[in-house]
Amino acid sequence: MDAGTRRILVVAGLWTFGLLLVVGKLYQVQIRQHEFYKEKARSYIEHKRTMQAARGTISDRNGEPLAVDLMHYSLAAKPAQLVEKRAVARKISKIINESYDDVYSKINNKKSFVYLAHRLTPEQAAQIRDLSDKSLLLERKFSRSYPFKEVGAHLVGYCDNDNKPGAGIEFSYDEYLHGKDGSSIFLRDAHGGQFPSMDLPTREPQNGKHIETTIDIVYQGILEAELGIAVNQHKADNGSAVLLNPRTGEVLAMANYPQFNPNEYSKYPVKNFKNQAVSDLYEPGSTFKMVSLAMCLEQLHLNMDSELVFCENGRYQLAQKTVRDHQKFAYLTARQVYENSSNVGVIKLAEKFPAAQFYRYARDFGFGEKTGIDLPAEINGILHKPDKFSKYSVSYMSIGYEVGVTPLQLASAYAAVANDGKLMQPYVVRRVVDESGRVVKENRPTELRTVISRETARQMKEVLKGVVENGTGQSARVTGVTIAGKTGTAQKIDRSTNSYTSENHIASFAGFFPVENPKFVLLVVVNNPRNGQYYGSQVAAPVFRRIAQRIVGLAVEDEPVSDQNLARIALPEMKNMLPAVEGMSVKNATKTLEKRNLKVDITGDGDTVFRQEPEAFSQFKEGQLVTLYTETRPLAETGKMPMVVGKSMKEALRILGEWDVQVEIEGSGIVIKQLPVAGSKMDNSGKIKLICNPA
């Protein structure tokens, strides 16, 4: 074999070997790793965009929105793809109300992606779309808004910047409120630009369900206003108030002070978020005497007017401690013992009770265990079992010491007396409904147990009524309304000495009205008043009176009020204010406004209201027109043919410009017919035809 032939064979062998390598690589890529490279190519070509679901609305018992999702947009850019950056920066700066220099500095680089602005309105987003620049991207988002700001914040809770719940109903009912995000597929071109795919599936977002609460926002506002005045006036640390419907257990209002604004939650200390009414315990003092009163009537069968108790002239020795009364009482009837809140008298009556029996009554009234309310972070309170009692535990517990309660527990116990001895489970959510109005979950009144007999409850009402008419609760009296209740003044423990101090107190008043047919149970607690006055009769009872007056609609203290007016709302600052409906569905917003005898005009064909005119909480007149502005989601997210009939040819082309499809136009002027019809699925086959006529 000569050298030439050998050279040819070597070259041929090398070519053959190279060809085998290529074929092998092709086999490896196209056959064995086909799925791997297919997915890799798809991941570059296809881009999934998340479509955020709206969180459900929370409303009060009358449909007033307490928490809504407001639509807004984030604007991003691809600086590497922008051509005329100065011109783009100039246009954008005018739309988003930012300086030209700031916008230009963000896009004057080679970055692949940068955010330019957040929380743009739908109107600003529309102006950005009008620029028709594929290097600019808009992301639709929702953020939580609380129209009543501080009012009801501890009940409703808040959501953080990512719309994640942090407290209250937002937290406890999150499984219903949060929706399920949707998605749509976009395709990338060779330059990195994105355009919607009309062949690939779009998964629509499923919005959250709506919560209808038991709360009356007007009552809530009354409690918070009066509680805040009292805490500040008496230079107290904080305060709580609870308003219940004793027949059902519904929470009509629940207030805490200090407050916080959930729209700006990050500006407040974490301690402000705490719902003290369910999460804080305190020694209730004399308001707890209702337990021993129930036992006197039901177990001892005392005649409250003939049974005499020697009150030791206001001083009674218990081991190494002396129990004192606020006056030097000698002999009092059993009724007078409770009307005048004699600690000595109550202790001498309670000494007749076995420890186990006293514990059972306290437990049956709901102390020492959670009420089961549908709010987060509720605590049990403290009620020791009889085997943990000391020789003097029943004596101290009978006057509200050696026991820890939450404001809600005490309010619920008084509600049991008002409700003829039946203890109801408190709740704050009436029902959960979906967007179609279908009821998903409904909470109904739940009777936990019968604590005392109807007759015992009747007698207790009379004694507690006497406390207000003749005893320590006189500053809670409201002319024309019969009120029953009990004052409470408890010394606090000094943590440095671990003993009770006469310097720090908790003032409270618990009661219900009207006595004949109780509709409201109200508890007011003021923690550590330091402005001279500290008795429950001086600090808490006047707050109870003012709240009761406002609830029943009394304009003048001496004006009698009929029973049918007791549930009437009379808060002048709220009566003629336009309700906030931004963030609500068009259906619910329309329903809310029409209930106020207002006319409604809807602009746009979207499902959600993003703006209203006039503004929320402005004064309105009956029959006034309210305009609701809605926005349809960008076509690229829906995959459906929009309604363009009735629009100008220019406007129709602008709307359809989001799609990379061919549009055939017949005539000019206003669109009178469209093919395909509105709502049809869009795909790449065929054209869109618009038939126009001059206006």
Q: How many CB atoms lie within 10 A of CB 558?
A: 8
Cis peptide before 614 (omega within 30 of 0): yes
Strands 136-145 and 182-188: unpaired
Cis peptide before 514 (omega within 30 of 0): yes
**CB-neighbour burial class of residue 228 (10 A; exposed 0-12, middle 13-18, buried 19+):** middle
Q: Which residue has the tokens 């106020």?
A: 596
Which residues are CB-neighbours of 490 under 8 A, at least 6 positions away?
282, 283, 284, 285, 286, 400, 401, 505, 506, 508
Instruction: At 160, list the tokens.
Output: 């953080």
CA dihedral 546, 552, 557, 560 (to 10 degrees): -160
Report the SS3 class of residue 574.
helix
Q: What is the longest distance spanned by two Cα atoms in the chain?
A: 142
pLDDT, averaged in runs of 10, over the chain (695 residues): 70 74 68 62 62 91 92 88 91 94 91 88 87 86 91 96 92 96 68 52 83 97 96 98 98 98 94 96 97 96 96 92 93 98 97 96 98 97 96 96 98 99 99 93 98 98 98 96 97 86 94 98 98 96 97 54 37 61 82 86 79 78 85 58 78 70 80 80 69 76
Res 36: pLDDT: 62
* CATH code 3.30.10.20 for 576-630: yes
* One-letter amino acid for residue 484 of the chain: A
Report the SS3 class of residue 613.
strand
Sign of the dihedral through C-alpha 526, 531, 536, 541: negative
Instruction: At 630, list the tokens.
Output: 């809605």
Q: Do domains 576-630 and 640-693 have the same CATH topology?
A: yes
DSSP letter (8 states) at residue 677: P
Q: How far apart are CA 125 and CA 73, in angstroms?
A: 7
* pTM for the predicted model, two decimal places: 0.79
CA dihedral 606, 611, 616, 618 (to 10 degrees): -120
Phi/psi for 75 (5° steps) reads -105, 130
Which residues are CB-neighbours of 596 under 8 A, at least 6 positions away?
578, 579, 620, 622
640-693, CATH topology level: Trypsin Inhibitor V; Chain A (3.30.10)
Residue closest to 644 by CA, chosen among 664, 668, 674: 674
Residue closest to 519 by CA, chosen among 124, 240, 247: 247
**Inter-axis angle of helices 289-298 and 355-364, to 10 degrees?**
110
Phi/psi for 4 (5° steps) reads -65, -45
Instruction: At 270, list the tokens.
Output: 């974490």
Q: In sequence order, what are the beta bridge partners of 490?
A: 506
Whether residue 540 contacts residue 487, with contact meaning beta carbons closer than 8 Å, is answered with yes
Q: In sequence order, what are the beta bridge partners of 212?
A: 59, 431
Whether residue 682 contacts residue 659, with contact meaning beta carbons closer than 8 Å, is answered with yes
Residue closest to 209 by CA, chosen among 386, 431, 18, 542: 431
List, for residues 622-662, the tens digit of each pLDDT value: 888 888 888 755 555 556 677 778 777 777 877 776 566 77
Phi/psi for 531 (5° steps) reads -115, 30
List, for residues 499-538, the tens digit of each pLDDT value: 888 889 999 999 999 999 999 999 999 999 999 999 999 9
Q: State the Rg of the chain over Cα.
A: 35
- Give domain limits for the chain: 3-32, 576-630, 640-693
The string of DSSP letters for 181-239 reads -EEEEEEE-TTS-EEE-SSS--B--BPPPEEEES--HHHHHHHHHHHHHHHHHTT-SEE
Q: In angstroms, how far is the first alpha carbon of the chain from the final one? A: 93
CA count, 13 A, side-chain hemisphere, 152: 28
Mean pLDDT, the chain, whole residue set: 87
Q: How far apart are CA 462 and CA 515, in angstroms?
A: 8
Q: How far apart are CA 233 and CA 569, in angstroms?
A: 26
Residue 508 parent element (H or E): strand 499-513
Res 618: pLDDT: 75
Instruction: At 53, list the tokens.
Output: 């679901």
Sign of the dihedral through C-alpha 294, 298, 300, 303: positive
Residue closest to 371 by CA, chosen among 462, 254, 460: 254
Instruction: At 372, list the tokens.
Output: 């089961």
Residue closest to 284 by CA, chosen among 111, 46, 101, 540: 540
Cis peptide before 572 (omega within 30 of 0): no
Instruction: At 121, list the tokens.
Output: 């309105």
With residues binned 3-state (H G I as helix, E B as strand, rest as coil), the percentages for the chain, rounded to 5, are: 35, 25, 40
Res 15: pLDDT: 78
Strands 625-630 and 599-603: parallel
Which residues are CB-neighbours of 164 under 8 A, at least 6 positions away?
none
Phi/psi for 474 (5° steps) reads -65, -25
The string of DSSP letters for 340-398 reads TT-HHHHHHHHTTS-HHHHHHHHHHTTTTS----SSTT----B---GGG--TTHHHHHH
Q: How far apart are CA 251 and CA 372, in angstroms?
A: 13
Whether residue 103 contacts residue 116, with contact meaning beta carbons closer than 8 Å, is answered with yes
